[in-house]
C-alpha cells in the first residue's frame, strides 16, 4: 500500500515499490485540502503507475484546522527555503502523517498489505516534524502493538524509500523509473485552473529540484512564472 | 481532553479528570458504529459530567470494515469471558484506538489541551491489542515526535486512569464520583429502542461488574433479561 498524495515525492516512492515488483494499493486522503487539484493528480498518478486499485479515504480534518493548507490563511511566498531543523511552517497540519499512517495501518490489515510506502524525506521537507526518521520508527513500533497482525508477529512495515534523498535525487530516480512528473502537483496555492503559483515552499523546492537534477521542469505555472 | 464513547469506562475516566480539577473537552467519534445509541449516550454523559464542550468528529471507518461493530457480522453472545491475553474478538476494529488517539492528539494541539484521557483498561478489556499499556506508551512516544507541541517539549500526555482497574473497581470509583451509569451504554447489539441485549461481551462484563461491585445495575435490558 502506498500513500499517493498527487505530489512528486509520493509518485516516486510508489514507482520504486512498483519497480521492486510489488502490487500496490494507492491510498489517497481527501481531507478538505484547499488545493483540490491534488486529488485529481493523485488519481492520474495512480493510473499511470499501474496500481492495482486506488482507495480515496475521506477524513474530516476541518476540526483540526490551524493550517494554511486547510484554513483560509495565506500561504507564505518566496521565502528562503528553511533547513530541516528549522521552525515548523504555517502549512503544518497537526499530526497529519500520524493520522494518515494510522488509517493506512488499519486499511493495510484489512487488505493484507505487508508494507506501507510513504514519500516523506528528511532532507528537503520544510520542517514538518512527522516526516522525520525517528517518527517513522516510533510509529512502526506503536502500530505493531495496535493491530491484530502486529500482535501475531506480522506487523505492517512502514518504509520511506526517499527519506535520505534530496529533491534533485528524487527527481532523477523518478525519471529513471519513467515517472511522468507532468501528472504530479506540488503547489500549495494553485490558481483556479490548477496552475502552480511558483513561489510557495512547495513550488520553490520543486523548481530547485528540477534545476539541480538538470531536468526540464514540466510544471505549468501561472502566467509570468517559469 | 477526554475520549467519551458513551460507555461506562470513558464516563468514569472523564469523571476522574473532572474530579482532579481539569477543564475537559469531550471528544466523541462518529465512525458509523452500528450501535448509534452510543452517540446519544456520549452526549448525555458529557453534559452530566459538566465538560466545557463536546466535539463530535466524523471518521469514515466504513472502508476499514472487517468488524462486527461496523459491518453486518453477528455479535457473539453468551460466550465465556476471555482473559486479557486471549484471542482477539470479532468486534475488534483494526487500529481503532490508534486512529482515535492520532486524531485526538491533533485536536489537543489545536485546543491547547495538555492531556488526553482514555478509558481503556487492560484487565477486563476483551482482548483488544490497542488497549494495552505498552501500546499507550508507544503511542505517546510516537505522538511526541509527530506534533509541534511535542517537538517544542510540551508533548500531549496520554493517561489511562483505569488501566489497572477491573470492571467492579471502575464501577465503584464511578459511584464514588457520582457518575450516573443509567446514562451510559455498553451493549454491542442493542434493540431498536436502545435496550441492551444482555449477552454480548460488553453486557456480560458490565453485568458481572455491577454484581461484583455490589451495586444495582441500572441498565435497561430487553424483555426477559436482567
| pLDDT tens digits along A40-73 | 999 999 999 999 999 998 887 877 765 545 555 5
Longest Cα–Cα distance of chain A, Å, equals 57
Percent residues over pLDDT 90 in chain A:
57
Q: Is A141 in the B-facing interface, judged by CB distances under 8 Å? A: yes
pLDDT at B123 over 80: no
Q: What are A196's three cell numbers?
A: 502552480
Backbone angles phi, psi at B29, to 5 degrees: -100, 125
Average pLDDT, chain B: 86
Residue A153 in grid coordinates: 508477529
DSSP 8-class letter at B37: H
Domain boundaries along the sequence of chain A: 2-213
Q: From chain A, pick out residues whose CB is under 8 angstroms from the CB of B86.
A: none
Q: Is A109–B94 a contact, with Cβ atoms under 8 angstroms apart?
A: yes
Q: Report the residue of chain A nearest B129, measured CA to CA.
A: A146
Say whether A146 and B129 touch across the interface (CB within 8 A).
yes
Q: Which of A57, A66, A138 sits opposite B63 (nearest CB)?
A: A57
Task: Decide: helix, strand or coil at residue B68.
Answer: coil
Quote ipTM for the complex. 0.84
Does residue B145 carry a pLDDT above 90?
Answer: no
Q: In chain A, what residues touch B110 (CB-CB under 8 Å)?
A: 63-66, 94
Best of A106, A128, A133 to mutate (most B CBs within 10 Å, chain B): A106
- CB-neighbour burial class of residue B194 (10 A; exposed 0-12, middle 13-18, buried 19+): middle
Burial of A78 (0-12, 13-18, 19+ CB in 10 A): exposed
Under 8 Å between Cβ of B123 and B132: no
Q: Searching chain A, which residue's CA lies closest to the CA of residue B29?
A: A60
Helix (H, G, I), strand (E, B) or coil at A113: coil
Distance CA A79, CA A204 (A): 9
Assess A1–B contact: CB distance below 8 Å, yes or no: no
Q: What is the pLDDT of residue B80?
A: 62
**Is the pLDDT reported for residue B224 higher than 90?**
no
Smallest CA-to-CA distance from B157 within B128, B115, B120, B185 is with: B115
Among residues of chain B, what percentage have pLDDT more than 70? 85
Residue of B96, B130, B142 with shortest CB distance to A139 = B142
Q: How confident is the model at residue A84 (pLDDT cuts 50, 70, 90)?
A: very low
Residues of chain B neighbouring A131 (CB-CB closer than 8 A): none
Residues 166-225 of B with CB under 8 A from A: none
Q: What pLDDT, in 10s, does the model give residues B153-173?
A: 888 999 999 999 999 999 999
Q: How far apart are CA B73 and CA B65, in angstroms?
A: 10
The three state secondary structure string of A54-110 is EEEEEECCCCCCCCCCCCCCCCCECCCCCCCCCCCCCCCCCCHHHHHHHHHHHHHHH
Residue in A closest to B102 by C-alpha: A99
Whole-angstrom CA distances from B39 to A16, A48, B118, B160 are 43, 42, 17, 21
> What is the rounded CA–CA span in Å between residue A185 and residue A194?
9
Listed by number, the residues of chain A in 146-165 with a beta carbon closer than 8 Å to a beta carbon of chain B are 146-148, 150-151
Nearest CA in chain B to A59: B59
| Sign of torsion over alpha carbons B167, B171, B177, B183 | positive
What is the distance in angstroms between the Cα of A223 and the nearest Cα belonging to chain B?
36
Q: Across all residues in chain A, what is the average pLDDT?
A: 86
Strand boundaries in B174-218, DSSP class E: none
Q: What is the mean pLDDT of residues B70-78?
A: 62
- Shortest distance between the Cα of A212 and any Cα of chain B, in A, equals 30
* CB contact (8 A) between residue B145 and residue A151: no
Report the alpha-carbon distance of residue A212 to residue A217 in Å, rounded.
11
B17 CB within 8 Å of a chain A CB: no
Provide the number of CB pairs (under 8 Å) joining chain A to chain B: 140
Q: What is the DSSP string of B104-134?
A: HHHHHHHTT-SEEE----SSSSTT-GGGSHH
| pTM, 2 dp | 0.86
Whole-number pLDDT of residue B61? 80
Provide φ and ψ at B129, rounded to 5°. -65, -30
Chain A 98-137, residues with CB within 8 Å of chain B CB atoms = 98-99, 101-103, 105-107, 109-110, 129-130, 132, 134-135
Q: Which residues contact B118 (CB under 8 A, 6 or more apart)?
A: B2, B3, B10, B13, B97, B101, B136, B158, B159, B160
CATH class of A2-213: alpha beta
Residues 6+ apart with CB under 8 A from A178: A15
Q: In this model, does residue B198 exceed pLDDT 60? A: yes
How far apart CA A114 and CA A76 sit, in angstroms, is 38
How many Cβ atoms from other residues are within 10 Å of residue B34's Cβ? Answer: 17
Q: Which residue has the higher pLDDT, A71 or B63?
A: B63
Amino acid at each position: 500500500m502506498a500513500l499517493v498524495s498527487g505530489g512528486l515525492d509520493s509518485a516516486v516512492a510508489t514507482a520504486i515499490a512498483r519497480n521492486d515488483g510489488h502490487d500496490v494499493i494507492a491510498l489517497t486522503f481527501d481531507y478538505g485540502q484547499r488545493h483540490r487539484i491534488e486529488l485529481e493528480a493523485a488519481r492520474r498518478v495512480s493510473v499511470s503507475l499501474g496500481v492495482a486499485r486506488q482507495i480515496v479515504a475521506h477524513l474530516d480534518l476541518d476540526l483540526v484546522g490551524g493550517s494554511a493548507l486547510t484554513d483560509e490563511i495565506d500561504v507564505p511566498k518566496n521565502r528562503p527555503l528553511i533547513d530541516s531543523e528549522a521552525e515548523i511552517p504555517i502549512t503544518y497540519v497537526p499530526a497529519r502523517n500520524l493520522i494518515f499512517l494510522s488509517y493506512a495501518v488499519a486499511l493495510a490489515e484489512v487488505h493484507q498489505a505487508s508494507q506501507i510506502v510513504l514519500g516523506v524525506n528528511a532532507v528537503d521537507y520544510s520542517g514538518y516534524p512527522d516526516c522525520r526518521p525517528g517518527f517513522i520508527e516510533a510509529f512502526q513500533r506503536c502500530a505493531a502493538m495496535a493491530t491484530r497482525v502486529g500482535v501475531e508477529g506480522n506487523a505492517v512495515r512502514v518504509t520511506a524509500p526517499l527519506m535520505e534523498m534530496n529533491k534533485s535525487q528524487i527527481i532523477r530516480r523518478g525519471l529513471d523509473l519513467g515517472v511522468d512528473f507532468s501528472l504530479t502537483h506540488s503547489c500549495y496555492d494553485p490558481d483556479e485552473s490548477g496552475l502552480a503559483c511558483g513561489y510557495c515552499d512547495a513550488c520553490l523546492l520543486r523548481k530547485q529540484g528540477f534545476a539541480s537534477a538538470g531536468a526540464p521542469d514540466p510544471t505549468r505555472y501561472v502566467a509570468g512564472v517559469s
